[in-house]
Chains A and B, each alone.
Chain A
Amino acid sequence: SQQGEEDPQALSIQEGENATMNCSYKTSINNLQWYRQNSGRGLVHLILIRSNEREKHSGRLRVTLDTSKKSSSLLITASRAADTASYFCATDTGRGNMLTFGGGTRLMVKP
């Protein structure tokens, strides 16, 4: 399988609930980033977590990184309808100047 796979592929929740998305990867990384993509639009950077960090917060976002399990999670608390989008993790392995994106989680937040 590929570097950076999100789980679940799709998630539907009610406004106000928390949304958790997971990302697994195969090789060691320098950092892992989460991006958001509204339908038909470009990707917007949300948060970056380095390999020596375990948890990071930004507003309603909380990201964790477990390098022993090669996994990361993105938690969006108190979700809003405007959070409806696809969320992608992207890994920087330090080998080559590039990010490798996962397949994404499609989040739908119902009002």
Chain B
Amino acid sequence: EPEVTQTPSHQVTQMGQEVILRCVPISNHLYFYWYRQILGQKVEFLVSFYNNEISEKSEIFDDQFSVERPDGSNFTLKIRSTKLEDSAMYFCASGEVANTGELFFGEGSRLTVL
């Protein structure tokens, strides 16, 4: 069964360092998302991406964050200068259709900022 894959599964970084989280969405999906979940808290929307551009972003997704689809398969989230409060589980998701269908989530990348 097709699945969304994320790497790395866990990354530890120093505050102020740049981090890139990678995702390979399901191949025939057109809509891509990043969500994050701080330990024990709710899943928060960060950004959605369609047709090579951001279609929606939340207040969390400030200038420190960027997304890119550098080739036909990868979808990346970059955090330019990490802060302690960026420590969370980051989930990539993809979907076939916008809004009206289910999302398929990866297993997540746990980011720990020291």
Q: Which residues of A contact B (CB under 8 A)?
A: 30-31, 33, 35, 40-45, 48, 88, 90, 92, 94, 96-104
- Chain A nearest Cβ from B87, distance in angstroms: 15
- Chain A nearest Cβ from B46, distance in angstroms: 9
CA distance A82 to B42 in the complex (A): 22
Chain A residue nearest to B4 in the complex (CB) = A42
Q: Which residues of B contact A (CB under 8 A)?
A: 4, 31, 33, 35, 41-45, 48, 50, 55-56, 58, 89, 91, 93, 98-108
- What chain A residues lie within 8 Å of B58 (beta carbons)? 98
- Chain B nearest Cβ from A107, distance in angstroms: 16
Contact B31–A41 (Cβ < 8 Å): no
- What chain A residues lie within 8 Å of B105 (beta carbons)? 35, 42-44
Partner of A41, one of B33, B55, B102, B108: B108
- Chain B nearest Cβ from A92, distance in angstroms: 5
- Chain B nearest Cβ from A58, distance in angstroms: 12
Indicate the member of A35, A45, A97 with the most B CB atoms within 10 Å. Answer: A97
Contact A33–B43 (Cβ < 8 Å): no
- What chain B residues lie within 8 Å of A33 (beta carbons)? 102-103
Contact B100–A30 (Cβ < 8 Å): yes
- What chain A residues lie within 8 Å of B42 (beta carbons)? 88, 101-104
- What chain B residues lie within 8 Å of A102 (beta carbons)? 42
- Chain A nearest Cβ from B29, distance in angstroms: 13
Closest 8 CB pairs of A and B: A45-B102, A42-B105, A101-B43, A96-B56, A97-B48, A43-B105, A42-B107, A103-B42
Contact A92–B100 (Cβ < 8 Å): yes
